[in-house]
Amino acid sequence: MTALLTRGRTTLWFWIFVGPFVLGLGLFTYVPLAWSVYLSFFDAHNTVTPDHFVGFDNYTSMLSDDAFTSSLTTFIAFSAFIVPTTYALALGLALMVNRLRRAQAFFRSVFFLPAACSYVVAALIWKMSIFNGVRFGLANTLLDWFGGDQIAWLSTTDPPWYWLVIVTVRLWLQAGFYMVLFLAALQRISPVLYEAAAVDGARPGWQVFRNITFPQLRATSVAVVLLLVINAFQAFDEFYNLLSQTHGYPPYARPPLVYLYFTALGEGQNLGYGSAGAVILALIIAVVTLVQSRWFGLGRKED
């Protein structure tokens, strides 16, 4: 009897702490997701309770929409650049911080601090202070010191300098977070491995990194790459806040989520059409993640 009372009390406290989170997750995540899938099969103009069923017409129209497919193509290229760049930067920072004997906690906090900043706030700082394109902006001031010409950084005409703005703000925001993941993995590597490598005559530096350090980071590397790819395809805040007021927002400067946002909540408010695009994008992310997981052997036991 006492055991049953103890178990019941434990269950009660479990649901007291976990229940609000589960309720919020269901109401604000799973219910909207399910309703979005439902809307994608209807002609839902200016309404979330449509009655005109169109089947897969929204999906076929979205897949043949040049603006949507071009945004996907552009951001596949964007992912192919930002993922390895962020990976290399985060790993390099982790290796440098891990070698410090003093003030390691300070530098770890300094590099991680941007991860706590909102993407919207960071984008506005980049847009209004650093790359605002005016003469007294920070970037143009530095160019002026070195005799360079002034640049309209956020112009979507050639050359596409806006990509430099977008890439730098994203690197600043996320490199520190992944650095901490790599740093935790580096600190789990047994010193015995490095001692054995030294006994075998391995030279410190590249040889030890290639044969000892990097293989031991395999599980963390897989997780980091998966997260980077997903985050790249979910890009929205920095693009919307940096480029929303530039020259009609051309498709090649617009990620899929921004296009879907304007489709569903713009002038037409075609919620069914936008929901179909969101489902397609979610399926693309899921397929890419599964392929990566199989390719990298996510979950496979280490040798």
CATH homologous superfamily for the domain 40-296: MetI-like (1.10.3720.10)
- Packing angle of the helix pair 271-296, 31-39 (nearest 10 deg): 120
Cα separation of 160 and 14, whole Å? 53
For the chain, the structural domain boundaries read: 40-296
pTM assigned to the model: 0.82
Using one digit for the tens of pLDDT, what is the confidence trace for 161-208? 888 888 899 999 999 999 999 999 998 888 888 888 777 777 777 888
Residue with tokens 């439902």: 38
Task: Kindly report, residue by residue over 211-266, the tens digit of the pLDDT.
Answer: 888 888 888 998 899 899 888 888 888 888 887 655 455 555 677 888 888 888 87
The packing angle between helices 256-265 and 271-296, to 10°, is 160
End-to-end CA distance of the chain: 47
Residue ranges of alpha helices (H) inside the chain are 2-25, 31-39, 57-63, 66-98, 104-112, 119-125, 138-145, 162-186, 191-199, 206-208, 214-216, 218-233, 237-243, 256-265, 271-296
Distance in angstroms (rounded) separating the CA atoms of residues 252 and 70:
7
